[in-house]
Amino acid sequence: MPNIASAKKALRVSKRRQKVNTRVEREYKIKVKDLKEAVSKGSKTLTKKISSLYSKVDSAVKKGVIHKKKASRIKSRMAGLAKKTQAPKK
């Protein structure tokens, strides 16, 4: 445990930020999971799910929870996954 007052405050701030960061991270990970489930079930509402996923990922980037290149990678992979399932099968 910290003894100095500024270190005590830093610990409180760190714990507060950790709660926010884990919540934001959990939100976008849930959206990724939902999209993967929808793709496996062959759902027709993929565009809405992709849109909500993009929104959550972009907000995570804005809050500094994830890097913008990681967000780009996530969005690209999920768009490719959705596109594969929507393509007509020959």
Mean pLDDT across 64-81? 96
User: DSSP letter at 1?
Assistant: -
Q: Where are the domains of the chain?
A: 5-86
pTM, whole model, 2 decimals?
Answer: 0.83
Task: List, for residues 10-39, the tens digit of each pLDDT value.
Answer: 999 999 999 999 999 999 999 999 999 999
Query: Would you state the pLDDT for residue 43?
Result: 84
Q: Write the CA distances from 70 to 36, 66, 80, 85, integer angstroms.
A: 18, 7, 15, 23
Cβ atoms of 69 and 40 within 8 Å: the answer is: no
Q: Which CATH number fits domain 5-86: 1.20.58.110, 3.30.230.70, 1.10.150.120, 3.30.450.40?
A: 1.20.58.110
| Average pLDDT of the chain, as a whole number | 93
